[in-house]
Structures are given as structure tokens and as C-alpha cells.
Structure 1
Amino acid sequence: MKNNYFTILGIVLCLFMGCNSDDEDVKAVENMPDWFKIEDKPGEINHLIYGIYKDYGVTIFINDTLGYEELGEDAYGNPVVHTELFNMGYYVYGTYTDGRMRLSSDTVAMIIAVNMIKDRVIPYLPEESVYRPLSFLLADSILLTETISYTPVTREVNVYGKGLRGIVVGRLNAMKEMEQDELNMLGGEILAVKSADWILEFCVDELEDYYKITGEDQYGKTSTESPFSPAPKPEELGFIRRVDALISGRKYMKNPDRKQDIQDYVTVIYAYRGEESRFYELYSTYPKVIDKFKLMRPIVEKYEIANGIK
């Protein structure tokens, strides 16, 4: 009987110690560094991104190394240091690399990019929402690899927003040569990454009339063109642009799919915010583009109201 008593007591003590151990682990997690906190450092660009963080709570990185954390020592007394990186393909269940980036060392281009984000992006970010990016990382270029017709194809993109760390903003390699309209379009493209996801999920009914303008059978359709049978311009069908396609090793152009088309229109709505008359003049000979733009405007406003923007 006495032996059973000590056995039960031992089990209870083990469980108690296990619970304490769990509590300590929880505290350790709570004390983890805030990788998205920006400290003020010497240098014009560092002062600028610190001011953005202090004034707007928006984190902008210019390097994919977010920081270091000392974890103790190994068996030989050597320090164990963890390096936290901005992995652009970081997802909930691991990492997926469908793209890669090249970082920039051009301070002037970084300053242009930060001011563009301040003027064209931050005013339209949700205050607290899953549709608010955790951060922005500035990159010289972003290279995205897609498999098209079983063939890997690599192309440069302006923005990458699939990962959980935040949105990667590319094109710093061309930033200094960009006109203001191009910078506005890039700002709109950044905003379209998250807002298009919301629109696709919560505006299904409103999008039915939007799709009808172009014709649902036109989305994703390959445009084969020859001197004898020229393909219609994308604007004639109601698209802002076409995208690259690869069929049997040959390059073609194709119409965007639904999501890309929505992103394109959200992009121009933000790029021409307050200057809609310029957009109407630019596409005055393409009535389908004008009609889709007018239909998308209240949809974007619905997104902003639902996410506390304005």
C-alpha cells in the first residue's frame, strides 16, 4: 500500500513539474523579440523609415535580415545566435519558394520608394485587419518562377504579397527613372494585393455585372495573333493589359484571369484616386474599360468602409 502511495505521489509531482515547464515555455514565447519594431539608426534612410514607423506604425525594411537573438551557449561554450530573416515565401505550414528577390543598395531609390509608400499606400491601409500587411520590404527586383504548360518560366514582377511576413516591393532598379504616374501605379499595385482578396470573397454578387462587361469566356483566353488575323487590343475587351503565356515552348499573350483583372482595376482606381477624369480621358475610346472602372469604384469603397479606411 505504501509503495502505491509513493508511486501516485511521484506521478503527481511529475505532472506538476510538467505544468511548470509549460508555463516557462509560454513566458519564453512572450519575451520573443518584436522583429517588426524599427529602431532609429544613423543615416537618412534609417531616420526616414523610423519616422514612418513612429508616426504610422508601418514597418519598412531595406534588408532581409530582421535581427538576431542570443539563445545561450552550445556544449563547447560557443554562443548560439538565431538570425531572423524576411523569407518572402513564408507561409503558415512552412515555406514555398516560387520567387526570389535581389536587395538594393541604392539609398536614393529607397528614399523614393519610402515616400511613395507614405503618400500613396499608407493613407489607404486598414487600421487593424488581416488585410493590413505586417511590413514592407524594399527590393531591387523580384523574380517570380511559374510553371506554364509544364515549363518553368521566370519573370520580373513589381510586387510580391503571398508570404506572411509582408509585401515585397520591387522595381527599385528603375525607381529613379519613374514618372509620377508610374509611382502612383506601383502604389496602387501594392494596395491591390490585399484588397483584391477581400473583394473576391465578399463582393461575389457585385462582380457578376463586372464580369459580364468583358464576357466570362474571355478571362485567361490566349490571344494568338498574326499579320492576317490581329487579336483585339486588351482595352477593346475591357482589360487594362495582357500577361505572358507559354504554349508548347512558344510565347503568347493571354488575357488576365479574374483575380489579376480585379487587381489591375483596383490598381488604377488607387493610382488615379482624385484624378478620375484623367483616367476617363486616357481610355475615352474604350467604353468597356470605362464601364468596369466605374463598377469597381463602389466595390473598392465597400472594401474601405468594411476595413475602417478613411
Structure 2
Amino acid sequence: MKNIWFYIASVVVLLGFTACTDEEDTSPSYADQNLFASSESDHSEMAELKRSFYKETGSYLLLNDTLRNEQNGTDAYGNTIWNTELVDLTYPVIGESTSYRYTYKYIKDVEKSKLAVNLIKEKLAARLGKAVPYSFLIVDSITTWTNNNGIWQIANGYSDIPHPTEILGTRCYAISTNGDAGFEDEDYFTTIFKKIVLNKVQRLSANKLSSFYSYGEQYYLVDKSDINIPRGVNDSLARSMGFWKDENYYYLAYKQSDLKYFSDAVCTYSPSEVENMMADYPLVIEKFNILREIIKSMGIKVKD
């Protein structure tokens, strides 16, 4: 009998520990909600556009940076308390930090929104293939703010761009049409595509890029005069050494710019075009093909 009463008492105590207390936070966690997707009850034109975009690209579509804005009770003075969550483009990759903030001007016109969505779908998402981001935020313009001794100011344009065309976050790419520039300039999204690809390539491990860099390891940042090369800019000589171009009067290629030139070339030219352009420079062709295969392996679609 004592054992039975001990068992009953233990169950009661355990139940007491699992019961809610006055201090416990019982507000919904929203862990089961995908805030990047439209509500199932939303059948508006924009909601359907977002569903279609996801179905076709595998990436969520945002037309503003607010993921959630719900009333969550009132405070002691009767003021409404809002539960708001924004998509955070400054959310860092592990080990990184940022002192930037971004604000956005939205595209208000429905038809212009549709046009912008179609352009991003055709010129970015289709070309990125499996490498599309988790979501795209499409806006009219982006403003960069920097922290200057605790005061947020618009970027000055010297070291930071005040109105960038894109911000590449870890779970969202913000893409600006920069007013009407994105609709009028045929190269506008091509330039953004190159920046996205370069950003992805730069994040690869050193091991992934070792074969590409192996051609230039002995030359990167070497003073031309130290190896009896006349100072000046000589593309032909640089290409004979495996570089896309000669960019500096005093030094041979920078490692970062070497990668950028070839990454941009992979985004622009087919192998046959490069073979014709660089017929006299076999090392350039080899490096182009190496980086092209690396980029293709990421799921990005390049010219055949």
C-alpha cells in the first residue's frame, strides 16, 4: 500500500512541474510557421504571385521586409503591443559581424512589381539554378546606414555604397531595381548576377579553389621589377602567365582580382568564345575551364 501511495504522490508532483505558472511565457512560438510563405488563407494577387515564384524557382519571394506584424495585447497604458519580425539582411555568417543597417523603398505599383518579379525570375533565379537563395526581397531602392559613434548615418559613398543594387544575406538576397534602371538597362541584372556568383565563389574553401590558384601562387603580388619584368601594364605578358589581364603598373595580379576576372568571364563567355579570344594563352583557357566546372558544380547555369 505504501508503494501505491508513493507512486500516486510522484505523479502529482510531476504534473505540478509541468503545469503553467504565472511567470511562464505561454505566447505562441511560431516555430511551426514559415514566415517567408504567404498564409494559406491569403488568396490575393500578390500571394498567388509569391506561390508561383516559389514553385518555379524554389526560392521564396518577398516584396517588403516585414515577415510578421501581429497585435500581441496591450501595455499598462492601453497601447497596442505589436509582435514584428523583419527579414534581417545583416544576420551574420558564423564568425562575421556587421555595423550596417538597411532600409528599403518598396515597389508600390502592382504591374511594376510583376515586371520586377519576372525579371528576377528570368535573369537571376533561372541562371542561379540550384544555387538560388532561400528568399529574394525585391524593392525599388536600398539605403545603407552605418554606425558612426552610436549615430546611424547614410553611407558616405567613399568606403560604403549608399544605395546598393543588391545585399546578399545568408537567408535572403535583397535586389533593388534602383528606380527604373532595372527595367531599362539590359546589363543591370547581368551585373548583379556576376556579383552573386563571385560572392558564392569567394566563400568556397581554399581546398576547392586550390587547383585554380595553383597557376598563380608564385606570382601573386610579386613586384614586377623583382623578376625582371618591366613595370607597366602588359595584358599579353600577364596572359602568358595565366592571368586574365594585367591590372597594376608595379605588381602582378592580386589573388582576389584574379578570381573576380575569371568568375566574371565564366558568367559572360562560353568555352568556345574564350578559346577564340585567348587562343595564344593556354594557361588562361585552362584556368577558365577549371573555375567554370567549379561554378557549374554549385548548380549555377553558365553558357555552353
Normalising by structure 1, we get a TM-score of: 0.61
User: Residues 242, 55 of structure 1: CA spacing in aligned structure 2 closer, same or farther, 3 A cutoff?
Assistant: same
Match of 1:103 in 2: 105
Match runs of 1:1-310 below 5 Å: 14-17=16-19, 28-32=29-33, 34-38=34-38, 41-42=44-45, 48-91=49-92, 96-98=98-100, 100=102, 102-105=104-107, 111=114, 113-123=116-126, 132-139=132-139, 140-141=141-142, 143=144, 153-155=159-161, 157-161=164-168, 163-170=169-176, 172-173=178-179, 174-179=181-186, 182-194=188-200, 196-197=202-203, 200-201=204-205, 204=207, 207-215=209-217, 217-218=219-220, 230-232=232-234, 236=239, 238-239=243-244, 257-258=255-256, 261-262=258-259, 265-272=262-269, 275-281=270-276, 289-304=284-299
Q: Which runs of 5+ in 1 are unaligned?
A: 147-151, 244-252, 306-310
Post-superposition offset of 1:293:
1.4
Post-superposition offset of 1:52:
0.9
Paired residues in the alignment total 266
Residue 69 of structure 2 aligns to a residue whose secondary structure is strand
Contact 2:66 2:87 in 1 (8 A): yes
Residue identity (%): 21
Q: Which runs of 5+ in 2 are unaligned?
A: 1-5, 148-157, 225-229
Q: Hey, what's the Cα distance between the residues in 2 that align with 1:263 and 1:92? A: 21
Residue 68 of structure 1 aligns to a residue whose secondary structure is strand
Contact 1:188 1:270 in 2 (8 A): yes
Normalising by structure 2, we get a TM-score of: 0.62
Post-superposition offset of 1:144:
8.6
Aligned Cα root-mean-square deviation (Å): 4.9
| Structure in which a larger fraction of residues adopt helix | 1
User: Residues 16, 80 of structure 1: CA spacing in aligned structure 2 closer, same or farther, 3 A cutoff?
Assistant: same
User: Residues 254, 17 of structure 1: CA spacing in aligned structure 2 closer, same or farther, 3 A cutoff?
Assistant: farther
Contact 2:134 2:171 in 1 (8 A): yes
Contact 1:213 1:291 in 2 (8 A): no
Match of 1:248 in 2: none
The one-letter amino acid of 1:238's match is: F
Q: Provide Cα deviations, 1:2-46, integer angstroms capped at 9, x if missing partner.
A: xxx9x9999756523269x98967x634354x3211355447xx7
Runs of 4+ in 1 over 6 A off after TM superposition: 7-11, 92-95, 240-243
Q: Hey, what's the Cα distance between the residues in 2 that align with 1:95 and 1:115? A: 33
User: Residues 67, 269 of structure 1: CA spacing in aligned structure 2 closer, same or farther, 3 A cutoff?
Assistant: same
Contact 2:167 2:173 in 1 (8 A): yes
Q: Hey, what's the Cα distance between the residues in 2 that align with 1:126 and 1:213? A: 29
The one-letter amino acid of 1:300's match is: I
Q: Radius of gyration: which is bigger?
A: 2
